[in-house]
A = this chain, B = another copy of it.
């Protein structure tokens, strides 16, 4: 039997006719090697952003159902175009929507989770000798009966589509083609000396992705971890080895800080003078959770005179919705005011070794201080330390941290310097008491531990 390969091409890989033809040639080469192929595509280039901009030009608060129907068209378009480009090369191919590929979801617009995949049609088309192109990022809602509503999986959801299909189809390989050559120690656009990693553990990749590394979506990594799908991240523009995401038995021997992540899609919300009594936090976060807003870092200062300040971060795009949801809560609970700041950014250091050695926090904060960067919020997990800083400081901060943790050096060379730091580390205590990322903080420290 032919090996089955799932390939995923991101938006920049299919931006325009020339790139789509190049993607088709790459698919055709893999096919010429005898593989059966399922190819997942994202929307072309900036299509999703353009559609979002169009929607928000019409209304600040687009209805989630209509927004999903709108955004899903981006992947329909790229899927059909890749299929056409394969036809032009004489390769039989067919484009399928998420629904046609049998992908059903839990029906939550804008952030649907895959409920199941019944790949009847995918198998049929593969059996008919076709390359199957699947529109990523989407599925049909399961609960809607005959209504067949389009739901999207959230930003970067095409990765999830690819890994889920690879798991369901028991694919031999799962390749994520992107505009970079693999996973780097930091974003090469900010840090020219950033270095490509050969292997990264699932958990480390999870933290990197969750903290803003754009290469892979968090859920796709989780899904790969749970299903043991080895994921290869590689460039769609050059023939070069990529980075493998998998269980990493050698993690203890590696540089303790594996990489940096940053995220500009962050807004800070502060509730000023919150009444300091039980149940207040629930009154604030329950309605946000119900509306599916992904609250990230939460900080509550020690109260004084019966009131306290409560800060947290949300994705910048959800800020307007967050404010709207909290307005009645504010009135009800009697806060003084709600302030917001959308000119912040998140910077994290990530490494499976962080949990075993103190001193990383102190070294991180020191490097930022030396670079003149003020820290606004701090959060930690077992293998990660995250700070919120002013967005204007982002580039300086990332470069300073990359130098401080010697990430530009090959891993073998860094061991000694690293060991030295570990031994010399100042036990500064846990600088972030009470601060836990609700998601990263809950990650099970198995596998890479």
- CB < 8 Å neighbour of A77 from B57, B70, B148: B70
- CB < 8 Å neighbour of A69 from B67, B95, B147: B95
The A1-58 residues at the B interface (CB cut-off 8 A) are 17, 20-21, 51, 54-55, 57-58
A251: Cβ under 8 A from any B Cβ: no
Q: Contacts A95-B66, A100-B148 known; A58 to B73 CB distance under 8 Å?
A: no
Instruction: Identify which of A84-92, A197-205, A288-296 touches chain B.
Output: A84-92
How far is it, in angstroms, between the C-alpha of A28 and the C-alpha of B44 when the chains are bound?
34
A121: Cβ under 8 A from any B Cβ: yes
Q: Are A76 and B80 in contact (CB under 8 A)?
A: no
How far is it, in angstroms, between the C-alpha of A94 and the C-alpha of B147 when the chains are bound?
13
How far is it, in angstroms, between the C-alpha of A55 and the C-alpha of B85 when the chains are bound?
9
Q: Are B87 and A76 in contact (CB under 8 A)?
A: no
Q: Contacts A121-B147, A147-B100, A148-B99 known; A62 to B77 CB distance under 8 Å?
A: no
Note all chain B residues with C-beta closer than 8 A to A77. Answer: 51, 54, 70, 73
Task: Identify the closest chain B residue to A69 (Cβ).
Answer: B80
Can you name 10 extra interface pairs (CB under 8 A) apart from A54-B81, A59-B88, A69-B80? A20-B58, A21-B58, A54-B77, A58-B84, A66-B83, A66-B87, A67-B80, A69-B97, A70-B80, A100-B148
Task: Identify the closest chain B residue to A100 (Cβ).
Answer: B148
How far is it, in angstroms, between the C-alpha of A51 and the C-alpha of B80 when the chains are bound?
11
A333: Cβ under 8 A from any B Cβ: no
How far is it, in angstroms, between the C-alpha of A26 and the C-alpha of B29 when the chains are bound?
53
Q: Contacts A87-B63, A121-B147, A148-B99 known; A55 to B70 CB distance under 8 Å?
A: no
The A237-274 residues at the B interface (CB cut-off 8 A) are none
Binary B-proximity of A121-164 (CB < 8 A = 1, otherwise 0):
10000000000000000000000000110000000000000000
Q: Are A85 and B58 in contact (CB under 8 A)?
A: yes
Q: Are B84 and A66 in contact (CB under 8 A)?
A: yes
Chain copies in the assembly?
2
A-B CB contact pairs (8 Å), 14 listed = A20-B58, A60-B88, A63-B84, A66-B81, A66-B83, A66-B84, A66-B94, A66-B95, A69-B80, A70-B76, A72-B76, A100-B147, A100-B148, A148-B148
How far is it, in angstroms, between the C-alpha of A73 and the C-alpha of B79 when the chains are bound?
12
Q: Are A59 and B87 in contact (CB under 8 A)?
A: yes
How far is it, in angstroms, between the C-alpha of A21 and the C-alpha of B95 when the chains are bound?
33
> In whole Å, how far is A404's beta carbon from the nearest beta carbon of chain B?
46
Pick from A21, A57, A83, A84 the residue with the most CB of B within 10 Å. A84
> In whole Å, how far is A343's beta carbon from the nearest beta carbon of chain B?
26
Q: Contacts A99-B148, A100-B147 known; A59 to B84 CB distance under 8 Å?
A: yes
How far is it, in angstroms, between the C-alpha of A62 and the C-alpha of B84 when the chains are bound?
6
Task: Identify the closest chain B residue to A53 (Cβ).
Answer: B17
How far is it, in angstroms, between the C-alpha of A2 and the C-alpha of B88 when the chains are bound?
53
Task: Identify the closest chain B residue to A149 (Cβ).
Answer: B100
Note all chain B residues with C-beta closer than 8 A to A70. Answer: 76-77, 80-81
Ranked nearest first, the 9 interchain pairs of A and B with the lowest CB-CB distance are A73-B73, A17-B57, A59-B88, A70-B80, A66-B80, A62-B84, A69-B80, A66-B83, A58-B85
How far is it, in angstroms, between the C-alpha of A100 and the C-alpha of B84 when the chains are bound?
26
Note all chain B residues with C-beta closer than 8 A to A87. Answer: 59, 62-63, 66
